[in-house]
Amino acid sequence: MQYKFEKPVHGIIGNEKYQCTIEWRNGKFISDEPVTSGGKDAGPDPDTLLLSSLTSCTLITLRMYIDRKGWNVPQIAVNTNMYQETKDGTATTIVDQDIIFSSEVSEEQKNRLHEIAERCPISKILQGEIKIRTFLFKDEDTKRKINYSNDEITVVWKPGFCQHSTRCFTQLPEVFNPRIKKWIDPNGASPEKIDEQVKRCPSGALRFYYNSEKPKPA
Ligand code: SF4
């Protein structure tokens, strides 16, 4: 399993209603709720961000295709909006995208671009099957823990905390192998690599320390 981004999108909210600071690979921006929902409208709300993702993906995909074809289309605009309807107790979200060309584009080119727009990567994600997994990091101590050590390092596993994200054994199989009983091999990779992987555990089930250091509680 390989994540799309080396660093995940990182978001933080404090007491200031409802400003979220979102960090992406090249900077930060604010997401907020409109005033009518108790926010200050200091940045796009989550629905707007969702639609923005589709809008920009459609535009970029169209631009790439037009440039590859060498067509002369200086500007493309997209309006995206959505609504929900409920039928027999099932809510369906309908997303509408209007594509507007401000210059002359032939009928044939328009039809092709329509097809391309419908198949942009974000559109495929939204129309495909999506599974959202939410993990909760636990920082507590527990009596149930198993140590896996070599002369230099110790990896601690707290089985009761594991939320089965599969990150450890799909990303560093040289160290983590759930098919064998002694499933953590501290000799399988460098301490730095193991430490890095342990930090990616979303549940707090894994801990790492150098034997020369006093292990932190938990
Ligand atoms: S990364 Fe952590 S939560 Fe995920 S399977 Fe490994 S130990 Fe469990």
The domain locations on the chain are: 10-127, 146-210
CATH 3.40.50.720 is held by the domain 146-210: no
Q: How high does pLDDT run on average in the chain?
A: 95
Domain range 10-127, its CATH number among 3.40.50.300, 3.10.129.10, 3.30.300.20, 3.90.1170.40: 3.30.300.20
- In this prediction, residue 59 carries a pLDDT of 98
Residue nearest to atom 6 of ligand 1 (CA): 168
Q: Give CA–CA dist 120/104, Å, rounded.
A: 23
Helices (H) and strands (E) in the chain, counts: 5, 8
Which residue among 138, 139, 168, 194 has the greatest number of ligand 1 atoms within 8 angstroms of its CB, and so is best to mutate?
168
Which residue among 144, 157, 167 has the greatest number of ligand 1 atoms within 8 angstroms of its CB, and so is best to mutate?
167
- In this prediction, residue 218 carries a pLDDT of 60
Give the distance (Å) from ligand 1 centre to CA of residue 130: 21
Q: Give CA–CA dist 3/25, Å, rounded.
A: 14
Regions of the chain with pLDDT less than 70? 215-218
